[in-house]
């Protein structure tokens, strides 16, 4: 699930406890989240907070660790941030090239907002200011170990 950056740092632990309660004993949780190396409790960009992610906050490695402590076994932690830069640029290219078909419905303000969002985020990932992680958790550990396929 790609949601942790949207629940707010005060709710990370509660979110993971709910995930644990909902998970079968032999189940796995795949947490797909944007994060930062630094633990901060505010967002750095007022524009993003106001228009795109109100109440959002990017978790740090330490905050994720605290949220899952005594609840999950970490099976895998994969960094895919460099790939996300390319993904965001491809989304922008598709959005921009298809804009003529969308502009009558959505208008110029929508175009500027999404152009800013996609290019800003691509730059943030390219500069390595943020990361995209896919983390796999189990309740009690996978018997024989978890096999990562990449």
**Predicted pLDDT of residue 45:** 74
**Predicted pLDDT of residue 46:** 81
**Predicted pLDDT of residue 38:** 78
**Predicted pLDDT of residue 20:** 97
Report in angstroms the alpha-carbon separations of 28 from 33, 133, 136: 16, 16, 7
Residue 92, C-beta contacts closer than 8 angstroms, at least 6 positions apart: 115, 118, 119, 122
Is 71 within 8 Å of 20 (Cβ atoms)? yes
- Structure tokens, 100: 């003529």
- Structure tokens, 4: 């942790």
Residues marked active site are found at: 121
Backbone φ and ψ for 87, nearest 5 degrees, come out as -65, -50
The domains of the chain, with CATH numbers, are 4-138 (3.40.50.150)
The Cα–Cα gap between 139 and 4 comes to: 18
Instruction: Please give the DSSP secondary-structure letter assigned to residue 42.
Output: S
**Predicted pLDDT of residue 2:** 73
Low-confidence ranges of the chain (pLDDT < 50): none
With residue 138 as reference, give the H or E element that holds it: strand 131-138
């Amino acid at each position: 699930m790609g949601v942790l950056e949207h629940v707010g740092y005060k709710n990370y632990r509660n979110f993971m406890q709910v995930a644990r309660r909902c998970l079968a004993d032999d189940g796995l949780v795949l947490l797909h989240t944007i994060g930062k190396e630094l633990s901060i409790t505010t967002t750095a960009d007022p524009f993003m907070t106001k228009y795109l992610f109100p109440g959002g906050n990017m978790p740090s490695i330490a905050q994720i660790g605290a949220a899952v402590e005594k609840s999950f076994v970490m099976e895998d932690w994969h960094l895919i941030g460099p790939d996300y830069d390319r993904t965001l640029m491809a989304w922008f290219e598709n959005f921009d090239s298809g804009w003529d078909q969308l502009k009558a419905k959505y208008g110029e303000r929508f175009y500027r907002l999404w152009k800013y969002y996609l290019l800003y985020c691509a730059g943030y990932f390219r500069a390595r200011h943020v990361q995209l992680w896919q983390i796999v958790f189990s309740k009690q550990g996978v018997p024989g170990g978890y096999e990562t396929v990449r």
